[in-house]
């Protein structure tokens, strides 16, 4: 049974930065690609970013490209999302995810419980 624990959310002003963390239960997740999704109030869940364990290949949604950076620490079995130049429209619950797909079609099998990011104007 795998487990993803996401954290790091909080309240920030527009233009500010925040780093989210995703702790995995171990190397069992190496068979999956990792990523982040988000869901804003009253809206559907949307893909944010993805990364591979082996080569560190990344993929970003157009809405966050150039502002967000996904990374991983293989030794710690952890994934991060550095969010810069935050906008009010980035406000959402962010979920760490693991799946056998890629990009927007990550097809998550495992999900974190979510961490709330609120960007004020």
- Give the pLDDT confidence of 32-71 residue by residue, as tens digits: 999 999 999 999 999 999 999 999 999 999 999 999 999 9
Q: Extract the runs of DSSP E, i.e. beta strands, from 1-121.
A: 4-7, 11-13, 18-24, 33-39, 46-51, 58-60, 68-73, 78-83, 92-99, 108-111, 115-120
Cβ contacts of 38 within 8 Å, gap of 6 or more: 45, 46, 48, 90, 92, 93, 94, 95, 117
Tens of pLDDT along 92-107?
999 999 999 999 999 9
The pLDDT, as a whole number, for residue 11 is 98
Looking at the chain, the whole-number percentage of residues with pLDDT higher than 90 is 96
What is the pLDDT, as a whole number, of residue 2?
Answer: 86
């Amino acid at each position: 049974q795998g487990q993803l624990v996401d954290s790091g959310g909080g309240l920030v002003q527009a233009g500010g930065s925040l780093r989210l963390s995703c702790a995995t239960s171990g190397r069992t997740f190496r068979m999956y690609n990792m990523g982040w999704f988000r869901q804003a109030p009253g809206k559907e869940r949307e893909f944010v970013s993805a990364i591979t364990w082996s080569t560190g290949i990344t993929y970003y949604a157009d809405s966050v490209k150039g502002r967000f950076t996904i990374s991983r620490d293989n030794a710690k079995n952890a994934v991060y999302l550095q969010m810069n130049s935050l906008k009010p429209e980035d406000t959402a619950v962010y979920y760490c995810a693991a799946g056998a797909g890629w990009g927007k079609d990550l097809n998550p099998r495992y999900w974190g419980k979510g961490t709330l990011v609120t960007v004020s104007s």
